[in-house]
Amino acid sequence: MPKPRVPTQIKVIRGTFRRNEAPANEPQPDLLKAAPKPPAHLNKWAKRMWKDIAGKLLALGMLTDIDLYTLEVLCEQYGIYRELKDAITHRETPAGREKISIAQYLAGQNSQTIPEYAAMRAAFERYTALLKEFGLSPASRSRMDIPREPPKAVDPMEELLNAK
């Protein structure tokens, strides 16, 4: 299986970018200046994640206009996972809504035949796969070298005078 390609922006942040290995005509989508509102169809957990993640990606200079669709799916998968987990870990009783553990829910059942549990696991797998695309998993984040201070603006005239 071929190794997945790493976006140039991620390589720059990691410090592994090499100009001689960069594609000659790589598309450079426009970076967003402000985070857009989350899509209306997302559930409450997905909207909360959108607001949090979009702001952080924006601050890192990693959110472009064409990333919004992938971000939407990432947040949607997280929302589906949380919605299903909530449905599994809460049950209605005569005294009201009761919180239970997943182990209590699965007691005496086969986890492979419970549709809610299978759907929750599938949503979580899709969510974690998309996290890597944005460099948001612990492993993918550990390969990045992000400067703590934003880079200082370079004066084009100063750069021209200092060029050798």
Condensed to tens digits (0 to 9), the pLDDT of residues 138-149 reads: 666 666 655 555
Cβ 43 vs Cβ 99: under 8 Å: no
Band the pLDDT of 38: cuts 50, 70, 90: very high
Q: Is the pLDDT of residue 113 over 70?
A: yes
Report pLDDT digits (tens) over 66-110: 889 999 999 999 999 999 999 888 888 788 888 988 888 888 887
Cβ 22 vs Cβ 8: under 8 Å: yes
DSSP 31: B
Note the pLDDT of residue 135.
Answer: 74
Helix (H/G/I), strand (E/B), else coil: 54 = helix
Query: Phi/psi at 147 (nearest 5 deg)?
Result: -65, 140
| Angle at alpha carbon of residue 57, lines to 120 and 83, rounded to 5° | 20
User: Could you tell me the end-to-end alpha-carbon distance of the chain, in angstroms, rounded to an integer?
Assistant: 44
For the record, the structure tokens of 73 come out as: 């799916």
Cβ 102 vs Cβ 89: under 8 Å: yes
- Indicate whether this model's pTM tops 0.85: no
Q: For the CA atoms of 38, 42, 48, 52, what is the dihedral angle to 10 degrees?
A: -40
Q: Is the pLDDT of residue 126 over 70?
A: yes
Cβ 122 vs Cβ 81: under 8 Å: no
Percentage of the chain beyond pLDDT 70 is 80
